[in-house]
Amino acid sequence: MNTFPSLPHELTIYTVGALHAEWRAGLADALDPKATGAECRVRGDLVAEIDAAGVQLLLSLRRSVVAHGGVLRVVDPSAPLIGACSALGASLLLLDAFMTETAS
């Protein structure tokens, strides 16, 4: 299991540029190419502000993780994060988190 840095307090159009550069650089470290099916965990409890640009960046991260044969698990999502994903029909981002919680 790999742990990605926690999602920040603000995940909006104003922060996605910097976050994108950070995540792109950290992706190689977070994913072990030898471990197919690796789980990439990212904590979402700090997210207080989020907009569609932030959700889109999460979708992009998920696509990369899946492309590497991994699974992105957003752990402990905050209420704004759940609300935004739900309101944009992107709840699949959080499904793995709920599944993890249920399993544990």
Partner 1 sequence: MSIACDDDSFIREALPAFISEADEQLSVFEQLLLQLESAPGDRELLDALFRCAHTIKGSAGIFGLDRVVAFAHHVETLLDLLREGRVDLTSALSTLLLRSGDQIRAIVSESAASVAPTHEAESLRLELVRELGVAAGTQPPVAVVFAGAGPEGPSSPDPVAWHVCVAFGTETFRNGMDPLAILDYVRRQGIMASLACDADQVPGIESIDPESCLLAFEFKLETTKSLADIEAAFAFVRDDCVLSIKACADPAAEAARDGASDTRGLEAQAAQPPQAAESPAAARASATQRGPADDNRFIRVHADRLDDVINLLGELVIASAGASLLAGQTRQRPLIEANQHVTRLIEEIRNGTLQLRMVPIGETFARFRRVVRDTAAELGKDVALEIVGGDTELDKSVVERIADPLTHLVRNALDHGLESPAERLAAGKSAQGRLTLSACHDGGSILIRISDDGRGIQRDKVLARAWERGLVERGVVPPEAEILRLVFEPGFSTAQTVTNLSGRGVGMDVVRRNIEALRGTVTITSEPGCGASVEIRLPLTLAIIEGFMVSVGPSKFIFPLDAVIEVIEGAQGAAACGGAERGCVDAHGHLLPVVDLRALYALDSARPERSSIVVIRAGGQRYGVVVDALLGQHQTVIKPLGRMFRSLRGMSGSAILGSGEVALIFDVNSLGVLAAGSAPERPSRPALP
**Binding of residue 29 to partner 1 (CB under 8 A):** no
Q: Which of 1, 33, 35, 48 binds partner 1 (CB under 8 A)?
A: 48
Contact yes or no for 52/71 (Cβ under 8 A): no
**Binding of residue 71 to partner 1 (CB under 8 A):** no
CA–CA distance, 43 with 3 (Å, rounded to integer): 9
**Binding of residue 69 to partner 1 (CB under 8 A):** no
Q: Give the Cβ contact number of residue 34 at 10 Å.
A: 6
**Binding of residue 96 to partner 1 (CB under 8 A):** no
User: Could you list the residues that contact partner 1 (CB under 8 A)?
Assistant: 10, 12-13, 16-17, 19-20, 23-24, 27, 48-53, 55-57, 59-61, 63-64, 67, 80, 83-92, 95
